[in-house]
Structure 1
Amino acid sequence: MKPAKLTTVTLEQSADVARLRDVAMTLTTVLNFGAFERTRTVTAVVELGRNAIEHGQKGRATFSLTEVNGKSALGLLVTDQGRGIPEENLSPDGPPTSSTGMGLGLRGVQRIATRFDVDTGHEGTRIDATFLPAAGLPASPQLVDQAEGALTELRAKDPTAALSEKNRELTEGIADRDLLMQELHHRTGNNLALIVALIRMSKSQAEQDETQQVLTELEVRVGSLAKAHELMQRGTDAGQVDLAEMLDEVAKNSERAFSGGALTANIEVSCATLQLDSKFAIDIGLIIGELITNAFKYAFVGRDRGLIRVEVTGDPTQGIALLVSDNGVGLPPDAERPERSNSLGWRMIRTLTFQHDATLTVDGADGLRVHIKFPARS
């Protein structure tokens, strides 16, 4: 019979030791441990649990039903995140263990367990133990069903403890997911930053003005994405982005990308601290990056200085309003409406605006003013 996992107990606080003891008592009863054997085994299980809490920072005890020479046995895997157990505390012939030292009671557990394996190091400790009663029951699937039934009855007696355990398992799962997402954003951000660097190198070597212009626009777009992933990696919630910090970086990246020519344009950003879900924030960053790019390209023809303002007001529950304006030449009366332009930049702006059910208006009487109003979000 293959080992069958039965249940896991999280080890963080003293109350968890009582839960560990109850589970051990329940399973040793099902496996027909004698009274003295049950006391010794439960004591050993509790000792390993206490050590994981006191010395391992945080731990987990996983019970399973396994077999030794065809007889059913109780398997226990205890893992923690501590600094490891000193080697002298693992030696059966070593000096007595200090009452406050690392590895308290391990030699006693070694004498009780049928099998006892320890894997320890600076990253934590993993103890795999097996306890076999003298009058072992033959290994069978029916015994697994009995053990699971007994654990179900135990949970019914103390639903609060069972619910607390489930909540902690869920919290750990969320934390693991966030950690993986942060690592994903870190790697993605690094790759995008490398692409930005390659774009800049290519732009510095480009001889045609049109090529330099295309690479500059691409640098702004990819740079906005790179910053978004950096913020998601640094944030406490991998799915949220600080819009103000992101837009500041979009502005700096745009100024850097378009610097070096005859035009000097400053970008002013006004945006309160605003946490948005990552896709929404990235889309806003892309829209504003495109509008800034357009201002650099068309607003200041024949001039050597200019000013671009980015203003964000509102919040997700009330709706968010964007205003990107410049003090440039504006739109002549007979000019093509920019929001109907077939350029890649304006197509992106229209598409992203439409995806979020936002409204877009353009005023070109005094410089160019682009208003985008996003509806309230739940």
Structure 2
Amino acid sequence: MNKKINILHLEDDPFDSELIESEMRTGGIDFDYTQVDTKVSFIDAIKNEKFDLILADYKLPTFNGSEALKLAQEICPDIPFIIISGTLGDDIAVEMVKNGATDYVLKQRLLRLVPVIERAILESEEKLKRKNAENLIRQSLRDKEILLKEIHHRVKNNLQIISSIIKLQASYSTDPHTKDICKDLQTRVMAMALIHQKLYQTESLSKIDFKDYLQKLVFQLVNVYRLSEQQIFVNLNLENLELDVDTAVPCGMLISEIVSNSLKHAFPNGNNGEISIKVDKQESYYMLNVKDNGIGLPNDKDLTSAHSLGMQLIKSLTAQLAGTLNIKTNHGTEYNIKFFDSAYQKRM
């Protein structure tokens, strides 16, 4: 041990104090030394001075090693604490170590003192290095979390700008088909923007509250297609789900695409209707059910083989979730999709 250490010694016997100090110097320890012998002076020392090591007698007239250890654990828990006593039984020694003492040395066996001190200082230095490294890692993680939140915020803002540009462009067009295409683009961009908004507003950067996300998404979809809630009622039957980002993005876009199709096509001529959305979590997968009670589709039309952009997106997003798609068209249109989260997909 090359560096000089600062030692606090709780001891009321001057002879024992000199004996212990001599043993340390003989053993080659370079140190500064402060001796105290009362509770008041002990507390004052550990509060007002930085020590590398505390040595403490177990039994003093008005104070003892157990009380000193408890105070040291409260005020300076990282400083090694060694009991030195001539009256310490094995049971008490073991109890002291359990309570936080680094080690103990009997006054009758002071030859152990220097090796015990060297080991205690070495362990303390290693512990401090680990603590500093952990603090650096935690700070680095905090910095990265702040950076990621800022990135999600900026991505959301940029996507909202794109959505506004699309909306503005649609307003200049007189072609109904072009307006419909712009609305479709707007809803797809909006579904992605909402994910990024949720991510920078929550503590977790890896999972989002999917129930809250869907509630906001459906409200925005109804607003985009300018349908009143009295005209089209959207029933959300959702568990409290947290989905990871890699699952939430395609799942959100999938639901946006299906609901948009229902809002556009299922209720012509201002018909009233209902759209229901249900997501259930099973043991290893999720079941998504989206259905409407609209006009449905002709029986001879095979939706799964349709080549429209919307259906191509629905099939592509289902595949991205490692899911299976089943569509029914009795009394409206119903989509049943079984899918897996990204963590499960990696194990498949």
Shorter-chain TM band: 0.5 to 0.7
The answer for the alignment partner of 1:319 in structure 2 is: 285
CA apart distance, 1:367: 1.0
Question: When you count strand as a share of all residues, which structure comes out higher?
Answer: 1
Match of 1:249 among 205, 212, 216: 216
CA distance 1:23–1:286, change in 2 (3 Å): farther
CA distance in 1, matches of 2:290, 2:272: 17
The answer for the alignment partner of 1:170 in structure 2 is: 137
The answer for the alignment partner of 1:353 in structure 2 is: 318
Secondary structure class of the residue paired with 2:297: coil
Secondary structure class of the residue paired with 2:268: coil
1:273 maps onto 2:243 in alignment: no
The answer for the alignment partner of 1:334 in structure 2 is: 300
Opposite residue 321 of structure 2, the aligned amino acid is H
Correspondence list, 1:105-120, <5 A: none
The answer for the alignment partner of 2:336 in structure 1 is: 371
CA distance 1:260–1:372, change in 2 (3 Å): closer
CA distance 1:24–1:214, change in 2 (3 Å): farther
CA distance in 1, matches of 2:254, 2:176: 24
Secondary structure class of the residue paired with 2:142: helix
TM-score, normalised to structure 1, is 0.56
Task: Indicate if the aligned counterparts of 1:251 and 1:269 stay in contact, CA closer than 8 A.
Answer: no
1:293-325 CA distance string (max 9 Å, x none) = 11123222345222111111116x532111110
Report sequence identity in percent.
Answer: 24
Correspondence list, 1:192-341, <5 A: 192-259=159-226, 264-314=231-281, 318-335=284-301, 337-341=302-306
CA distance in 1, matches of 2:186, 2:2: 59
4+ aligned runs moved over 4 Å, structure 1:
22-26, 153-158
> Is there any run of 5+ residues in structure 2 with no aligned partner, and where?
6-29, 34-46, 48-119
CA apart distance, 1:25: 5.5
> Is there any run of 5+ residues in structure 1 with no aligned partner, and where?
1-21, 27-34, 40-49, 51-152
Correspondence list, 1:95-110, <5 A: none
CA distance 1:199–1:25, change in 2 (3 Å): farther
Correspondence list, 1:75-86, <5 A: none
Secondary structure class of the residue paired with 1:267: strand
CA distance in 2, matches of 1:246, 1:201: 25
CA distance in 2, matches of 1:327, 1:371: 15
Task: Indicate if the aligned counterparts of 1:155 and 1:161 stay in contact, CA closer than 8 A.
Answer: no
Opposite residue 339 of structure 1, the aligned amino acid is T
CA distance 1:200–1:160, change in 2 (3 Å): same
Question: When you count helix as a share of all residues, which structure comes out higher?
Answer: 2
* Bigger radius of gyration among the two: 2
CA distance in 1, matches of 2:304, 2:291: 14
Secondary structure class of the residue paired with 2:274: strand
